[in-house]
A and B are shown apart, each in its own frame.
Chain A
Amino acid sequence: MSRIAEVGITAYGAYVPMLRLSLGAISGGGRKAGSGSGERAVAYFDEDAVTMAVAAATACLEGIERSSVDGVLFASTSYPYREKQAASVIAKALDLRRDVAAADVAGSLRAGTNALRLAADAVRAGSARSVLVIASDCRLAAPRSAQEKSFGDGASAFLIGRDAVAATIEASHTISDEIIDVWRTETDPFVKSWEDRFVVEHGYMRNLREVIQALLSREKLAPRDFAKLVLYGPDARSHAAVAKACGFDSKTQLQPGLFGQLGNTGAAFAPMLLVAALEQAKPGDRLLVANYGDGADALALSIADPITKLWTRRGLRWHLERRVELDNYDKYLGMRNLQVSSSDRRAGQGVSATVHYRDRDEDISFHGHKCRRCGTEQFPLQRVCFQCFARDELEQIRLADRHGKLMAFTFDYFAGSPDPPLIVTTTEIDGGARVYLQMTDARAEEVKLDLPVELTFRKIHEYGGTPNYFWKCTPIRA
C-alpha cells in the first residue's frame, strides 16, 4: 500500500553558501572570474556538508520546539568522515533530545528522497511524531572539470510530521537500479562518472520515466493534475527532456533547475528544488517530486493551508539573493584544500578527543551559562560565577539562536587562513555572555564596533585532519 495519508512536510528550510564562482573562471578564464556564463554556489573554507546541514535545519526549525523532534536523518554523499556519524554532530549542534533517533543516509544522489520516505514511514508507523530530514552536499570535483562547473554546494531540511502538515505525501514509488554512472570509492578524492550519453539515457531518463509513469498509473493521476514537477537533473537539456517524455510542459510545469545559478547540489539537489517549489506553492496545488540515483524515487505531494505560515523563513529564495562573487579561482582551490599553500589547515597533532568530549555542550551546542543566583550570563561554562562567585549555581542556556554585537575585533593576517585576514572578535551575545569568536562571510570593510551579528556553525580549523566545529559570528543579513 502506497498511500500515506495525513503525513507530510510540516516545515522546511534551506542553506546556500554566500559565495558564487563564475563558470568562466573554472573553464580557464584565468585567475579572475569571467562573466556571462553562469555561476555556481561554493562553500566557504569553513563550511562542509555538516555545517550547511546545521544552517538549513536551523532555518527549518524556526519557531518549532526542538524537543518535539523525535528523529534526524542526514542525507549526503560527501561526509567529512568515512567512519563516524554526521547526524550525531548535527543533532548536538541543533540541541535535539538525547533520545533522538539519528541516522545517516548515504552513498547515493537519491539519499535525500530515501530519507524523506524513511521519515514518512516512521511517522506513519507511529514510532515518531516528527522527524527532521536534512540533505546536504559539498561534492568535490576534479579542478577545471565539467563536473566542477555543474556542481553546487548547499543543503535543505524538512520536518516530517502529522500535525499542521503543509505538504501531505499522498503517494510514493521507488525503484532500485544497479548502474555504475556516478561514483567515488574510498580512495577517490573526486566524483567520477561514466560517459555522459550512457548515463543520461540508460540511467537518468530511463529510471525517472519508469518511476513517474508507475506512480501516475497506479494512483490514476495525470501530468495535468500537478502544478509542478520537481525533478532532479544533471543538466538543463536532459532535465527538460524527462519532463517532456513524461507528458509535462517543461515551460510551465517544470520547477526550474537553477542550472548556472546554484549548481547541482547532489543529494540535496531535488530536495533544494522542492524547497523552491514549496516557496511558490499554493494550498490545493499538487507537486510531483522525482529524484534519481541508483534507481529513482517519486513522491506526490498535496499542498495545504499551513504552507502560508512557512513562507517567511529562510528558504532558497533568500539564499539565492544573498550572494557574493568569488573573484579568484586559486582562492577557491585553497578553500577546498586543492592547492598547496603555506597555511596547511590539516597540520598538527589535532584536537584531543577527550577535550572535545568535555566541551561538546559549549563547542557544538553552543551553550553558555546563566548564574542562578545573580543572573549573569557567561561563556564558557563556569564552575564559579564571574560576577557573584557563586559555586555551581549555573544553568546551561543555548546561545546559538541569539543575536549579538561586536565588543572588539581585529583583522589577523598572521593566524593562517586560506582567505586572510581572519576576522577575530569578542562578541557579546544578547543577554551578556562574551565569546571570543571568529567572524565569517564578512568583508573587513563592514566590520565595526557594536555591529549586530548572528551565529553560524562552521569548521573552526582542521588540525589533525579532522573537521573541528565551533560557532562563528556573521553580520546579520536582512
Chain B
Amino acid sequence: MNPEAIRDKVAIVGMGCCKFGENWDQAPEDMIVEAAFEAYQDAGIEEPQKQIEAVFCGAVYPSKGTAEVADALKLYGRPVSMVTNYCATGTDAFRYGVFAIACGMYDTVLVVGFDKPKDRGISGPSAVTTGVRGLPMTPAGWFSLCAARYFETYGAGREDLARIAVKNHHNGTLAPKSMLKKEITVEEALAAPIISWPFGLYDCCAQSDGAAAAILTKRDLAKSFRDDPVYVKAVAIALAANPQADPSFDFLRWKPTVYAAEQAYKQAGIANPAKELDLAQVHDCFTLTELLTYEDLGLAEKGSAKEHIASGTFALDGELPVNTDGGLKTFGHPTGATGVRMLYENYKQLQGKAERRQVKNATLALSHNLGGAPQTCGIAIVGR
C-alpha cells in the first residue's frame, strides 16, 4: 500500500451547504440543488453540464437513490454512484470522489452528501431490523455503553459531557446554517430528561435534514478555479468489530476511530496530531463520542479529556478548536450529509471565511465520523 498515493493530488475548489434543520417544506432535491449550486458558484462553475464529469453521492435514507441527485441537477450521461457507510457515509462519498480524481480518469467531479430523515414521521433515528435480538435499540443506547467503565477508570462524569454540549451550543449560535442557535448552561444540560444514561437530552444531537456538496479537481487545475483551493491530505475509512460482541473490547475507546486515525495520519504525514492540526470537526452524535474522540484521535492523552475540557483546549479560542460550527449538536445529523458538512466548515476555516467562528492561521484541519454500533469511522484531513 502506498499511503501517500493521494496526498496533495486533489483539490477542493468549491463547496456548498444548505441550511440544516427540520426542512418540512423542502424535498431532498431542493436541498441538493441548494448545496450543489452554491458549490458551483463558489468554484466559478458556470456550465456544470459540461464541467462535472462524475458524481459521487452518499445517503443513508435515500428515497430513490442515485436518481435523486441526477434528477435534481439533471446530471445525466455520466456516472452517478451512491455509497452508504453508516454515519461515515458523507466522508466515504468524498473518498470515492478523491480517488476518481487521483487516478487521473476525471478532471472535475461533484460529491453530494444528503439525507431527509424528517420525512419518516418519527423523532430520532429508526431502529429497524428483521432479527429478534437487536430490538428495541437506540443509538443513544449503543453510544453510551463506554460511559460507565470510562467514568470509573478515569474519573470523568456527566458534568464533563455537559461542558462539551455547552461549547457546541455556543459555536452553533455563530454558524449561519446550523439548526439550533441557543446557548445552554451546564446546569440546564444536567437537569434535562435522561434519554439513555448518562445522556440527557442535551448530550444527544437531533436528527435533521440537510445536504452538502463539494467540487473536486486535480491539483494542476485547482488554481484555474480559484486562488485559495484546499488540498486533500488524507481520507481514511476503517471498520472494527461490533463493540457489543467483540470479545476483546475494553469499553474505554471506540476502535474504529483508533484504526482510521492511524491510516489518516500516515497518509497525511502527521506525527503529532495535537500539535500539527489547527482544528477538527468530530462526530458529536453524543457528547461522550466527542470526549472519546479527543483521545482516540490522539488530540489528548488517554484519560486526560476531562482536564482538556475543563481548561478549554477544544473551545473556539482554545489551542485546538473542535466543532467550530457547533457540530452535530447544533446542525443535527442528516447522516449522509454530515461528513460533507464538516468538510464545508474546514474548507471555509482554511480559506479564512468562517466569520465569527474563524480560527486564526488555520492550515490543517481534520473531520471525523463514527457510525454503526459504532463500527465504522471516516476521517478526512485537508490543508492549505
Residues in A lying within 8 Å of B, measured CB to CB: 351-352, 355-356, 359, 362-363, 376-380, 386-387, 407-417, 421-422, 424, 426, 432-436, 444, 448-449, 460-461, 463, 468-470
Contacts and interface: CB of A to CB of B under 8 A. Distances in A.
A209 to B, nearest CB: 49
Interface in B166-195: 193-195
Contacts of A469: 132
B141 A377 contact: no
Main secondary structure of the interface of B (DSSP, over half): loop
A426 B131 contact: no
A373 to B, nearest CB: 14
Interface string B226-251: 00000000000000010111111101
Interface in B113-158: 124, 130-138, 140-141, 144-149, 152
Contacts of B152: 449
Given A411-B194, A434-B249, A363 B132 contact: yes
A243 B203 CA distance: 64
Contacts of A414: 124, 138, 140-141, 195-196
A412 B141 contact: yes
B251 A380 contact: no
B197 interface: yes
Given A410-B141, A415-B138, A434 B247 contact: yes
Contacts of B149: 407-408, 449
A426 B145 contact: yes
A412 B130 CA distance: 21
A421 B197 contact: yes
6 smallest beta-carbon distances between A and B, as pairs: A436-B244, A352-B130, A410-B144, A411-B197, A412-B196, A408-B145
B241 A386 contact: yes
Contacts of A352: 130-131
Given A410-B197, A424-B141, A355 B245 contact: no
Nearest to B243: A426
A460 B135 contact: yes
A470 B196 contact: no
Nearest to B244: A436
Contacts of B196: 410-415, 421, 424
Interface in B83-127: 124
B132 A351 contact: yes
Given A414-B138, A426-B244, A434-B247, A470 B194 contact: no
A393 to B, nearest CB: 15
23 contacts: A359-B131, A363-B132, A378-B245, A386-B241, A386-B246, A408-B148, A408-B149, A410-B140, A410-B147, A410-B148, A410-B196, A411-B194, A412-B140, A414-B124, A414-B138, A416-B136, A426-B243, A426-B244, A426-B251, A434-B249, A436-B133, A468-B132, A470-B132
A68 B248 CA distance: 36
Contacts of B245: 378-380, 386, 434-436
A363 B133 contact: yes
Contact of A386 (B141, B193, B244, B248): B248
B136 A376 contact: no
Residue of A355, A378, A379, A409 with most chain B CB atoms under a 10 A cut-off: A409
B246 A359 contact: no
A470 B136 contact: no
Chain B interface size band reads: 20 to 34
Contacts of B138: 412, 414-415
B148 A449 contact: yes
A268 to B, nearest CB: 26
B224 to A, nearest CB: 49
A421 B193 CA distance: 12
Contacts of B249: 407, 434
Nearest to B124: A414
Interface of B: 124, 130-138, 140-141, 144-149, 152, 193-198, 241, 243-249, 251
Nearest to A410: B144
B364 to A, nearest CB: 35
Contacts of A463: 135
Given A408-B145, A426-B145, A434-B246, A417 B136 contact: yes
Nearest to A407: B251
A460 B137 CA distance: 11
Nearest to A431: B247
B241 to A, nearest CB: 6
Residue of A363, A415, A417, A444 with most chain B CB atoms under a 10 A cut-off: A415
Contacts of B146: 408
Residue of A410, A449, A468 with most chain B CB atoms under a 10 A cut-off: A410
Nearest to A387: B247
B139 to A, nearest CB: 9
B130 A351 contact: yes
Contacts of A409: 145, 148
A415 B137 contact: yes
Contacts of B130: 351-352, 355
Contact of B247 (A356, A378, A424): A378
Contacts of A362: 133
Contacts of B135: 460-461, 463, 468
A412 B246 CA distance: 22
A432 B247 CA distance: 6
Residue of A362, A407, A412, A460 with most chain B CB atoms under a 10 A cut-off: A412
Contacts of A380: 133, 245
Given A422-B136, A426-B251, A436-B244, 11 more contacts: A359-B131, A359-B133, A377-B247, A413-B194, A414-B196, A415-B137, A426-B244, A435-B245, A449-B152, A460-B133, A463-B135
Contacts of B141: 410, 412, 414-415, 422, 424
A386 B247 contact: yes
A355 B128 CA distance: 14
Contacts of A379: 245
Contacts of A422: 136, 141
Contacts of A351: 130-132
Residue of B132, B138, B246 with most chain A CB atoms under a 10 A cut-off: B132
Given A359-B133, A436-B133, A376 B247 contact: yes
Nearest to B153: A449
Nearest to B150: A408
B225 to A, nearest CB: 45
A291 B161 CA distance: 61
Given A408-B149, A409-B145, A412-B140, A359 B132 contact: yes
